[in-house]
Structure 1
Amino acid sequence: MNKINSYSTGVVSALAVFLGLVVGAIVMLISGYNPISGYVSLIQSAFGSSLNIGEVLRSMTPLILTAAGFLVAQSAGFFNIGLAGQVWVGWLVSTVFVTTHATDSMIWVIPVAVILGTIGGAITGAIPGWLRAQFGASEVITTIMLNYIVLYIGNTVITSLPGKYMSASDTTANLSDATSLRWSLLSNLTGGSRLNTGFIIAIIVLALVWFIMKKTTLGFEIRAVGLNMDAARYAGMSDKRTAVLAMALSGALAGLAGVTEGLGTYLNIFVQSTAPSVGYDGMAVALLASGSFIGIALSALLFAVLTVGGLGMPLVSGVPTELVSVVTATIIFFVGANYMIRWSLVKLDEGDAKDQAKAAAKKQAKAKKEDA
């Protein structure tokens, strides 16, 4: 067991990505496509122009925030599958507030909208945390249920807005750049992409969350409760309070991701059939990062490249974008099966050790024979 756990998470994650790409290549071959051409077109589509680079960075933004949120909850022993609903609440609250209050001259509206969206996500995350702390309710069940509750409440809010705020029956009017997170400097530097100040916010917040989790009493308590709730309680920590705070912080980060989607990427909000998928993608990013905050940034970059680059694959090489989903899903599978990867590495090392021992024994026997 010690040998199996001795391999760094970085090595295991890198192998998971490699194996995912290999499986994707095999699927391409079976489907009649050239995997080399497919992956080259993916890279070219992601980095071939400043516009695409800007879109990659833009796509990273909510992934960084939702992954950080998942990591905080996971550190406290929670599996926050409600990130998608928390993203939706942050998106809804912030965008509706700006839509109904903003004019180009009202500078204060954007900061207030960001704060309100973040608080909305925090409350949505704190509810299942409180239910778990007070009644032992499974956060997996409560967050899944809450995803649907906030989704349909949000859709009702959107369709109930006065007509002057709507561009269609199910979509709000687009915000102007002056009433959003858009910054012309970033857009101009990246060929007119949708890159916005949300990316800068995400990087700063990721560093802040690292500091909280690694350098503060709150972070220590969250990790202590996640490792052993009984021991944390015995040490004088309030496990219930810490659990609620951890889920609230997790939800706040997801809510902020929703803010960047509404005020930075789409500039509106519209009726949706499911909660935003970026919440689930953030979970995958966090799992691939394996508890590393630097890993979150790198994993978010990988997923963003797969997302943006995959859109250009059919045009360049004819490979359908669905195969990118196969690669992504396979990477997640191997991350989930990290024990199998670690076990395989141990067996390879044991095999190498045996081969080395046999070679040394042969060399020693040959030396003795020559001496004789």
Structure 2
Amino acid sequence: MKPFITGHEDLVHDIKYDYYGRQLATCSSDLMIKIFTLSASINEWELTDSFKAHDSNIVSLDWCAPEFGRLLISGSYDGLVKIWEETSTTKAINNESNNNNKGNWQLMAKLSDTRSPVFNCKFSPSFLGLNIGVIGHDSQLRVYYCSDPSNVSSWELKESYNLIPEGFSQPVAHLQSDYSLDWCKSKFLEETLVCSCLDLLSFMQKDPLNNNKLVKILDLYDHNGLIREVAWAPSMGRSYELVATACQDGYVRIFKVTGISSNGSDEVLKKEEHETENKMQKYYKLYNSQNFKVELISKNNDHKGEVWSVAWNLTGTVLSSAGDDGKIRLWKQSHMDHFQCVSVITPDK
């Protein structure tokens, strides 16, 4: 592990690689976004762009899939989500002044429906189209859609959903709170998201019988503190999905998500396996069943303190976690499904 100086003048809240791992974006409480490019000749990260992006703490970043161009989104406590495009020719939003021209990056759109601090914003997988999921302090999950990827200045609010369960009150503004979201990476499951709302984990799925709107299909109350981050693993041919959470209570949790219920669906699946020679079709039938099962398969507190971040590798076989112990831990699945820590990385001081 090789540290480098970002040049930020305050806390760095998020850092994201682009699709190819050749560029790195960072955001900070200093209101700046910085873009670094990996130099092939000296294998060092070089600062290529730096610009003021918001009027308050910037806490979330995400890169778009490359088939939609060079797009970056940022979410801030100023209540805005902004879409940036790396280009030297496209006109900035509303033909505003050159203040929106940030070197190679131009502001293409502002999403302002939240009107409260934005905690997390993410692009959907590319096979779902050009979508953005946003969660803010108002506890609303908002999904935006761009119908014309060639014109990324035009976005529509597709739907909004209140994540606070009925009977629960909205968190008080001065108290600490946290929200996060991630999209299911599988093409064989209906459009699905996992969202964390304080200490509650919720699964949302598109319902073809209800105008293809997202509906909440499951709530989990297994956490004993604020959920700092959720991460949905790439499936890579597995017959089930994996979701990891980082929690304030010190635990890294990993959940197994399947479409099999305990009411005899296993026999139905075996019958489908016998009747079809198309393996992908079998998975499609499995995932699009009305049954949805989430099982906690691993729970570890090796960090001995608050866990702040979790992330999967590209194949969904290794999970990394970071916590208050100042270490990064790598987890791999054993033959018994349980995840074990296989490596501990300590940054050089």
Common fold, TM-score beyond 0.5? no
* Larger strand fraction of residues: 2
Report the TM-score, using the length of structure 2 for normalisation. Answer: 0.23
Bigger Rg over Cα: 1
* Larger helix fraction of residues: 1
